[in-house]
Structure 1
Amino acid sequence: MPEQWRNFLDDLPRELPRPRDLGSPSAAEISAKVRPKALMEQDNPAERWVPIPQPVLEWYRRIGRPTPLYRARLLEKRLGTGARVYLKREDVLPTGSFKLNTAIAQAYYAAVEGRTTLVSETGAGQWGMSVALAASMFGLDAEIFMVKCSLDQKPYRRHYMELLGAQVRPSPSDFTAFGRGVLDRRPDHPGSLGTAISDAIEYTLGKDSAAYISGSGVPHVYLHQTLLGLEVQAQLEGLYGEAVGEAGRGDHLVACSGGGSNLCGLIGPYLSARAGGADLRFLAAESTAAPRLTAGRYTYGRADLAGYTPQVLGYSMGADFVPPPVHTAGLRNHHSSAVVSLLRNEGVLDAVAIEERKALEAGRLLLQTEGILVAPESTHALAAAIDVVAEADAQGLEPVVVVLASGSGHLDLQSYSEVLRRP
C-alpha cells in the first residue's frame, strides 16, 4: 500500500487557470473559515510526494487497503474479447465506496485542528456514509445535506449515516436561508449537488468549531484519491513486469466522472507517463442527464449555487441547469472541476455520455457474469469500457482496460429495479 499521496498538479499539460473570486466575503475568505488549514495547503503542495499521516495509514489498513484489482474473465468470455478487463474494487470498502479514502484523511486533519463537527453535502449518499464513518473514527459529529431526490430514492444510505449518529437533512433545506429561498421559488425542487454544497457551506459558517469538507472537485481530494492509481500501478506491474501503456496495446483507464475525484485519483499518477509517450488513454464516463464534458460550454462557473465557492474555468451546463432526478446522483453536477476540464480541453482526457438504462444494463451484465453488483455511477464507467472493448475487437487490438468500480450497488437495488423494468 502506498505510504505517500502523489501530487500530480505539475504533470498537467499546463497550469490551472486562476479562479475568479469576486464575492464579499470572497470564496477564499469563506474557505479559510470553514476548511481545515492543512487541507487548503494540500490544494497546492510543494512536494511531489506527500506523506500520509500514520493514523490515516492505520485506518487505511483497517478498512482493507489496498483494494483488489480483479480480472473480469467471465465478462471477457461473455463479450468474446481478447482484451483484458480489470476492475479496481473500491466497492469492497466498508461504506461500499472509494469516498472513504479522502473522508478519513479530512476527518483526521479536522480533528487535529480541534474541529468538533464535520459538515458536508452528498449526492447518492456514498460520500455522506463515508463522512459519517470517518467522523466516528476520530470522535467527531457529522451533519450531512443530502440531495432530496436521492434521499427519497436511497433511504438505506440515510439509515446508515444515522446509525453512526450523523444528522441527515434534505437539500434544498429549510435549515438555511439559501435552501428556503430555493423552496419558496420551487417547492418541488429535486435538489442537486449545487444546492447541497450551498446548504452545507452556509450551515458551517453559522456553526462554531465545524469544518466543511468536500467529497470531490478540489485538489486536496484528488491528492488523497491517488491511492487508486498508485495501487493499480503496483498491481499491474506485479502481474506483467511492465506498466500499462508500455506495450503498445493502446491500454485504457476508465472511470465515471461527477466531481472528478475517482477519475483523477485513477489517472493522476499516470499523467507523467502519458506525457512521456505511453500508449495510454483516459476515458471519463458521464451521465446524459448532466453531460458537461460532452455537451457543456468551457466557461467560468461555480460548484455551488449560492456563490460560496470560487468561479473556476470548466465545462458547464450553466448555473440555472437543474438535472433531472435520475438514479445516478453522483453524476448530477452542473459544472465540472477545473482539473478535469483542463485535461478534457487539452485533449488528454476523452469523455462519453452514457444513458442511464444502458449503464444499468451493463451493471446487470457484470452481476450475471462475475457476481459483482456496482453502483449506478460505476455502471457508466463499465458501459463505456464495454464500448472500448468492442472498438478494440473491431480493430484487432487486445488492450488492458482498467475500470474503476467506484462503489457498491447493494443499496441501489431500487434504482436498478425501477430503471430496468421500464418498457
Structure 2
Amino acid sequence: MDLRINLPESEIPTAWYNVMPHLPSPVAPPLDPQTHEPVDPAALAAIFPESLIAQEMSDQPWIEIPQPVRDVYRLWRPTPLVRAKRLEEALGLKVKIYYKNESLSPAGSHKPNTAVPQAYYNKQAGLRRLATETGAGQWGTALSFASVQYNLDCTVYMVKVSFEQKPYRGMLIRSYGATIFPSPSDKTRSGRAALEKNPDHTGSLGLAISEAVEDAATHEDTNYALGSVLNHVLIHQSVTGLETKSQLVLAGEKADILVGCVGGGSNAAGLFAPFVPECLDGHGPQMLAIEPMACPTLTKGQFRYDYGDVAQLTPLIKMHTLGHSYTPPPIHAGGLRYHGNAPILCQMVDSGLVTPQAYYQKEVFEAAMLFLKTEGFLPAPETAHAIKGAIEAAKNAEPGQTVVFLYSGHGLLDLAAYDAYLSGKLTDYEYPDAEIAEALKSCPDI
C-alpha cells in the first residue's frame, strides 16, 4: 500500500474552480461603506487590478490559470495526498485518514496558491509594489516570495503579537526582500490612531488590514493583496481540492469527511469547493470547518454585514462576524485571529453544506503533538486545528470511512508556541461573550 498518492506535473490544474455559480443561494454583494449600495467594481480599481476584480465578480465555474502562474506552481505542485497510517494506528480506529500536504511550498503553507497569481496579475497591470497584512506570518511569507518572482516590492503589516511571538517569520519575509512592520504601526493613520488609544495594543488582523489598505490607497504605484476572505482568493485555492479529488480516484477512495482549519476561510474552502456539486446531489462528503474557541467566528458570530477591517476602509461584506472592533486573545494560531470570514464559506455554512466546530488552544496542541509523534511532521498551530478536527471526526466516523484534512502549513517557524506548550505556559481563553457582544454593536444596521 502506497502512503503517498502523487500526481505528475502534467496534472497541475489548468483552471481554477469557482463554486459561486453552484451555491444553493447567491453570495450577498459587497456594499459601499458610505451609501450601503452594492459596490461599483470600478471603485475597487484603486487597490486591485481589473483581472482580479473580474474574478471576484465572476459567475463562470472555471477560470483559466495563466501559464506563467502554472510555471511557478511547478516549484511545489502537485502536492501529495498522504495516508496518515501511523496516526490511524495510534487512535486504534478502523478509519482511514489522509492529509493533503500543502507545507511543501517555498513558504511552507497553502498561501502561495493565491499569492503567486495575485503578484502575477498586479505585475501585468504595471504595479510596482504590493501592501498586505499577515497574522502568523504565513501569508506575508507567501506574498513576499511571490513578489520577488515578478520583481515587485512588498510591504507587510504583521499583527504585533505574532510579530513578537514568531520572529523567524519576520526574518524570512525580510530575506525574500520585503519590508515588514508590526501592526499597529506608526506608518499609517489607522495604526497611529490605534496606538494613541492603546500604546500596548497587541494588534488584530482587522487592524493590520486597515493599515495595508490605507497604504495601497494612498500610493498610486501600490495595490493591496489579501490572503483570504475574498472570492478570488478562494477560487485560486481550489487547486488543492481539485488535486485531492484526482488523488482520491487514484487511491480508489471516496472522501466521507473533509476537514479544514478556518481563520478567513481560504484553505478550508479551497479543499471543500470542488466537492460541492457532489454534496448538492446528496453523494458528497461531510465538510467540517475548525476554528479556535478564542475567535469562534462561524460557531458564535452573527451572519450579517460588517466591515472587513477595524478602520472601516473596506466594503461591507455579509459574513459570520464577531464585530470588526473585536481583538481576539493572543493565541498562537495567529492566522485564525480574524473577526469575520469568507462570504463564500459563510454562505456554505448558512446553507448547511459546511459544519463549523471550535476547540481550545491546549487540546489543539495535544492533537498536534500526537501527529508529530506518529507522522513525524510539526504542524503550524493553525493546521493543528484541522488535525484536531480530523481526529475527532475519525472517532465519530463509521468503520471503513475516510477522513481527509488539509495540512495547510508546517510549524518549523512556530517553535516558540511549542515551547510554551511543553513548558506548561499555554493558556486557554474562554469565549468572551460580553466583549464580543459589545463589538457586535459596532456592526452597521443593515
Taking structure 1 as the reference length, the TM-score comes to 0.95
1:173-208: CA deviation from partner (whole Å, max 9, x where unpaired):
111111111110011111111000000000111112
Q: How far has the Cα of 1:104 moved from its partner?
A: 0.4
Aligned to 1:302: 307
Query: Which residue number corresponds to residue 434 of structure 2?
Result: none
Which aligned pairs between 1:240-279 and structure 2 lie closer than 5 A? 240=252, 243-244=254-255, 251-279=256-284
Provide the identity percentage. Answer: 40
Assess, with a 3 A threshold, how the Cα gap between structure 1 residues 190 and 276 changes in structure 2: closer, same or farther.
same
Equivalent of residue 65 in structure 2, options 41, 52, 66:
52
Question: 19-28 or 175-184: which moved more?
Answer: 19-28
SS in 2 for 1:42: helix
Residue 44 of structure 1: how far off its partner (Å): 2.5
Partner SS state of residue 411, structure 1: coil
What code does the residue aligned with 1:43 have?
Answer: E
Alignment map for 1:329-344 (pairs within 5 Å): 329-344=334-349
CA distance in 1, matches of 2:284, 2:35: 47
Query: Is it true that 1:318 corresponds to 2:323 in the alignment?
Result: yes
**CA 1:148 to 1:309, structure 2 compared with 1: closer, same or farther past 3 Å?**
same
Q: Aligned residue for 2:289?
A: 284
- What letter corresponds to residue 189 of structure 1 in structure 2? H
SS at match of 1:139: coil
Q: In the alignment, what sits opposite 1:11?
A: 22
Residue 25 of structure 1: how far off its partner (Å)? 11
Equivalence map 1:7-406=2 (5 Å):
7-23=18-34, 31-61=44-74, 63-240=75-252, 243-244=254-255, 251-392=256-397, 396-406=398-408
CA distance in 1, matches of 2:45, 2:412: 38
For residues 349-372 of structure 1, give each alpha carbon's deviation from its aligned partner in whole angstroms, at most 9, with x where no partner exists. 101111111111111111101111
Distance 1:209 1:233 in 2: 40
Aligned to 2:441: none
**Distance in 1 between residues matched to 2:231 and 2:205, nearest whole Å:** 18
For residue 200 of structure 2, give the secondary structure of its aligned residue in structure 1: coil
- Per-residue deviation, residues 302-342 of structure 1 (Å, max 9, x unmatched): 21111121212221111231101110111101122211211
TM-score relative to the length of structure 2:
0.90
What is the CA distance between 1:133 and its match in structure 2?
Answer: 0.6
Contact 1:357 1:420 in 2 (8 A): no
* 1:18 CA drift (Å): 2.5
Aligned residues: 412
Map of 2:420 onto structure 1: 418
Counterpart AA for 1:231: E
| Distance change (3 Å), C-alpha of 1:51 and 1:188 | same
Q: Shift of residue 46 of structure 1? A: 4.1
Q: What residue ranges of structure 2 are gaps of 5+ in the alignment?
A: 1-11, 426-446
**1:30 Cα shift?**
5.1
* Contact 1:23–1:307 (Cα < 8 Å) also in 2: no
